[in-house]
Structure 1
């Protein structure tokens, strides 16, 4: 595995486009990424993380225009996107095309979609393939000594050892400061519903929507 700095984005881009795995820093924690249309690469992440069946990877869209090309955005989804993207919010969105959804099964249908700030967003904009990402930790390991997703390079190495995953590139971004989840909102339902709380607070979501958001 090659360890690089955030300035060497071309190396990360080539690894993703060649079907490899790349671990990148976010302000929340480190995330492991792959080509969302590469079933082999995505399945290796899901298997290594021991991720529950039906729990999708995130689809990191490069821009709002790209998001509109692939997904159906309700008026509520558009209001939330305008308020919080790029940022720490993911929306469950229906695909425009069922065949495209089938080609990207790892990110689900509806898909878990975000536009990310920082290196993750830069990577999504630079690659010529759709980008999938998920936290660098083994799923379901929530015992009293479980630190959660990796926030340091040392913890990334521990995750890779535990999962058996063979990442091609690790982007060293130092310590990730927030150590918290993205907020998830279901915009597939007729009325937006809060699925998981995270860095974007429920009050902020309600303020952007102009009405109290309910939980799923």
Structure 2
């Protein structure tokens, strides 16, 4: 993952630029806990069920910001907000920092050609991304080999009925079991 201070527009902007990421595609706001997430974002009934079932973990939820000033303060992250309470190294980082953490995978956005390996899963692949993107990382934390390139499952919770945007390590059947219904794809 590539991370930055979520309240630092310049730092987040450098991630968007390096990844060639569309501005409408939010970075993940990595909250240290569900309680902190609830201070920043509106969680409807289904979002709350999913968060309680799968956080900390590999699930990110597209959520509306709770207050307009939160959206304005974190415009660098993007709108809608993409929130997670992560596990592992990313979760530890969010819990130990004094600033909010924005994160995304280490790869060039939208490069789905035949030679595209997808997001980095090893430290060597992170270094390849840094070289290709021109990003200078003041700190690199080796969290080990990531079990999947797209590990975060993303669920859109802007409406009363949550919809799957992208599947990752949290399987769509697990989401359906938690909500008691099948989820449609966005």
1:65-214 counterparts in 2 under 5 A?
A: 65-214=35-184
Q: Which piece of structure 1 moves more, 97-106 or 119-128?
A: 97-106
Instruction: Work out the CA distance in 2 between the residues paired with 1:110 and 1:179.
Output: 23
TM-score normalised by the chain length of structure 1: 0.83
Number of residue equivalences? 186
> CA shift at 1:178, angstroms?
2.7
Secondary structure of the 1:194 match is strand
| Unpaired segments ≥5 residues, structure 1 | 1-30
Does the Cα contact within 8 Å between 2:60 and 2:82 map onto a contact in 1? Answer: yes
Deviations 1:128-185, CA, capped at 9 Å, x for gaps? 1110000011112221111111111111111111101110011123322233331111
CA RMSD of aligned residues (A): 1.2
Mapped partners of 1:63, 1:82: distance in 2: 11
What is the CA-CA distance between 1:214 and the residue it aligns to? Answer: 1.7
Paired with 1:192 and 1:62, the residues of 2 have a C-alpha distance of: 23
User: Taking CA–CA contacts closer than 8 Å with sequence separation of 6 or more, which of the two structures ends up with the larger relative contact order?
Assistant: 1
Residues in 2 aligned to 1:166 and 1:87: alpha-carbon distance in whole angstroms: 28
Q: TM-score, normalised by structure 2?
A: 0.95
